[in-house]
Amino acid sequence: MNDHRRLGRELGIFDTDPLIGSGLPYWLPAGAAVRKAIEDYVHELERRNGYQHVNSPVLGKRELYERSGHWSHYAEDMFPPMRVGGEEFVLRPSLCPHHAIIYRSRQRSHRDLPLRVAELGGMYRSELSGVLGGLTRVRAIQLNDGHVFCAPGQAAAEVSAALDLIETAHERLGIRAARYRLSLRGEGAKFVDDPGMWARSESVLRDVLKERGRPYDEERGEGAFYGPKIDIQIADPAGRESTLSTVQVDYFQPERFDLRYVGGERPVMVHRSVVGGLERLVAHLIEVHGGAFPAWMAPVQAVVLPLSDAELPAAERVLRRCVAAGLRAELAPPDRGSLGARIRAHRLVPYQLVVGPREAAGGGAAGRAAVRLRDGSQAGEVPIEELAARSRPFA
């Protein structure tokens, strides 16, 4: 079984240290490369689908979260306030209040809608030590978040478009959803007490799921405090489920922040996260792929393997070409062992470029190599630029 906690450390993806703190993993070079590849892919996917990207602070005044409803409904999951200069600041538990402020920072017309805003940003949860583990339950989360501000009549189409985006990303990442869940209101003060608002939101989500023919389960008590949501559940190799991607319909925060567009109309706020928190996502991908990530996502996409010291100058030319073409590449020189040992050491690298006497003799300044794939098959002399093209997420 591929446990991401073991495999992630073996592959140099992430690690932890008690001096930094529980639930605060750090990314090692291989993990930073995987994370950056995913960030770039999702950013471009969102851009191609009409999103504008923003950046907002990881702190906010306590008053912001009182206005959004987080303080009264979600405070137990938030870090305590920090007092600075007579004001109280809080590490944000969510990005949506910041995006509501961004929406209202300009006058909006109905022609501006739907306004799609996205951000990869830090958020913080005061998780208890007993539930923390690896990358799946952490206290500092890098969240792929986004909010669509739209007219009420546009909400269903935007929910469906968000699900399209999620399903496209999951297919590219190699993720198979365990199930779809319609997460509804539960009992108690955790949830906003406005049955009419909840009914309107639920109606939109149910209609979209019905129209798409998507089977789903319903679960009470799993909704956000301000409204219901569609949760895309994933399962680890042991069958344990967790939520990865979500879509939510929110009438509550537009009212709390008095969001409007010209004419006095109030927009609907559709929350959506295409791939959720990067920590949980990468944990799942480690286990799904066993470290053999797709070429576009692999920490090292190509390794150059000179047969002997005589081919080392030619191999270095090949390496330079790989790097110039945009490949994440490294050199495995002969002093690291036999060719077979070096191939085994790099068995998870998608492209293994072997430089022998024939390749070195004919390479000139450009450099040549025989390409071996990680499944052991031989691809021959594939141009470096073609390998680079194959290694892009939108190839």
Using one digit for the tens of pLDDT, what is the confidence trace for 41-53?
999 999 999 999 9
pLDDT band (50, 70, 90) for residue 264: confident
Record: fold of 4-289 = BirA Bifunctional Protein; domain 2 (3.30.930)
For the stretch 276-288, pLDDT in tens is 999 999 999 999 9
pTM for the structure as a whole: 0.94
For the stretch 365-374, pLDDT in tens is 556 789 999 9
Residue ranges covered by each domain of the chain: 4-289, 302-390
Q: What is the pLDDT of residue 243?
A: 94
For the stretch 193-249, pLDDT in tens is 999 999 999 999 999 999 999 899 999 999 999 999 999 999 987 788 999 999 999
pLDDT band (50, 70, 90) for residue 250: very high
SS (H, E, C) the chain: CCCHHHHHHHCCCEECCCCCCCCCCEECHHHHHHHHHHHHHHHHHHHHCCCEECCCCCEEEHHHHHHHCHHHHHHHHCCCCEEECCEEEEECCCCHHHHHHHHHCCCCCHHHCCEEEEEEEEEECCCCHHHCECCCECCEEEEEEEEEEECHHHHHHHHHHHHHHHHHHHHHHCCCCCEEEEEECCCCCCCCCCHHHHHHHHHHHHHHHHHHCCCCEEEECCCECCECEEEEEEECCCCCEEEEEEEEEECHHHHHCCCCECCCECCEEEEEECCCEHHHHHHHHHHHHCCCCCCCCCCCCEEEEECCHHHHHHHHHHHHHHHHCCCCEEECCHHHCCHHHHHHHCCCCCEEEEECHHHHHHCCCCCCCEEEECCCCEEECCCHHHHHHHCCCCC
Q: What is the pLDDT of residue 163?
A: 97
Reply yes or no on whether the pLDDT at 190 is more than 90. no
Record: fold of 302-390 = Rossmann fold (3.40.50)
For the stretch 109-144, pLDDT in tens is 999 999 999 999 999 999 888 788 899 999 999 999
